Chain A
Amino acid sequence: MTSFFENLISTFPAFMEAAWMTLRLTGVSLVLALVIGLIFALMKVTGVRWLGIVYNGYVGIIRGTPLIVQIMWLYFGITQIVVLSAFWAGTIALAIHSGAYIAEIFRGCIQSVDKGQMEAAESLGMKRALAMRRVILPQALKRAIPPLGNQFIIGLKDSSLVAFIGITEIFSLSMDNAAVTFKQLEFYSIAGLYYLAMVAIVTFVLSRVENRMDTAK
């Protein structure tokens, strides 16, 4: 047990750097995923047939294949065409992955808004796009916050999979340390602790946001 704490302390600076990488991967990929998710959800709810087909294809493929496969597709596939750093290959793969789940969250929340809201907006002379922006989306986005928070936490932990394309983040750092020291259990537990701490912070921030949204309407 003493060696566990010694290892925890001695690797602290390296892990803090790795944690910063994990946070950047997660943060950038989730911002991109929110944009992707919103665009696809809006495509789906227009009711335009071919847009719906594109949506179903995207969500179907992403949800139907493992994230690690998608990361490999992007890293080994796209980089044959364009020059992409491992960071951006990993970030984009994570963004496309989370984007599908976030699209489903947005779609569900938009469709859960009572249809009388759109009717009322249209009866006042609002075009559909304006009604969507002013009336439907504010209500839908508020409802999306709890499931989005859940998805953010999943995204944070899923970022560990980019370890396999050579990005030094928490999981890959613990793999390296485990390989060198043969203390696998210790270093993967250390990785677990860092994730636990980061998820705790994210959870705290999300609960604050949820509380604020409830009172502010």
Chain B
Amino acid sequence: MIKVEKLHKYFGDLHVLKGVDLEVAPQEVVVMIGASGSGKSTLLRCLNFLEMKNQGRILIDGKEVDPATTPLNEVREHVGMVFQHFNLFPHMTVLENVIEAPVHVKKVPKAEAIKRGKELLEKVGLGDKGDVYPEKLSGGQKQRVAIARALAMEPSVMLFDEPTSALDPELVGEVLEVMKGLAADGMTMVVVTHEMGFAREVADRVVFLDNGMIAEQGDPETFFQNPQHPKAKQFLSRVL
């Protein structure tokens, strides 16, 4: 589904990603964890070309994506993204947020997009909120709308960039529930998070980044019970 080979990323002189190799299989849920500054968010954003790699290869659905020659908007249609700060469009209602891209990018007939949009809002538990503006919603509700908005493009993979980090603690659960539902439906997911409970319960594979490299990866059971890398041990002792 996604394949990353020897990915390097610099911000000026700062070497953020130092040769990352990563493969994500269809229907796999990969959770990336690591200390802040380890490069996990940058890696995720590279997968959607919101950050441009400096070296290495990124393959989506088996095809290499070269930003110079591939229209990135077409690649992004198949790669959904959920942001830490939701980034809902404040001048549109919840339903308008959800149908915006299907109608204007995919050219889905509006009536059909509305029908599908309402189903998606139902799915994330916000069927009654279609006509309100985002500012009236709680953080957890906003993030669920953002998930519905990304799903409306019927992506083949969903990227989550710390989706619960900006939420009040009591609102984290409702967003994680929606994400668990997606994983259960077989969605391919790459999730950057600090929610170790989610990683343990939902991930097929945990990837631990340290200093711009993948220091350790494996199934969550083994990783959390018996981390090998000293930095992973240190990290887990602090967060668990």
Contacts and interface: CB of A to CB of B under 8 A. Distances in A.
Contacts of B89: 117, 120-121, 135
A138 B76 CA distance: 23
A134 B104 CA distance: 9
Contacts, number: 63
Interface in B51-106: 72-74, 76-77, 79-81, 83, 85, 87-91, 100-101, 104-106
A126 B85 contact: no
Task: Determine which residue in A117, A119, A123, A134 has the highest number of CB atoms from chain B within 10 A of its CB, and name it.
Answer: A123
Contacts of A123: 48, 50, 76, 79-81, 83, 150
Given A126-B73, A135-B89, A138-B91, A120 B83 contact: yes
Contacts of A120: 81, 83, 87-89, 146
Contact of B105 (A116, A117, A119, A130): A130
A6 interface: no
A137 to B, nearest CB: 10
Interface in A131-163: 134-135, 138-139, 142
B46 to A, nearest CB: 13
Contact of B100 (A114, A116, A124): A124
B133 interface: yes
Interface residues of A, number: 19
Nearest to B149: A124
Contacts of A142: 91
Given A119-B50, A217-B133, A125 B101 contact: yes
B153 interface: yes
A114 B91 CA distance: 13
Contacts of B76: 122-125
Contacts of A114: 87
Interface of B: 48, 50, 72-74, 76-77, 79-81, 83, 85, 87-91, 100-101, 104-106, 133, 146, 149-150, 153
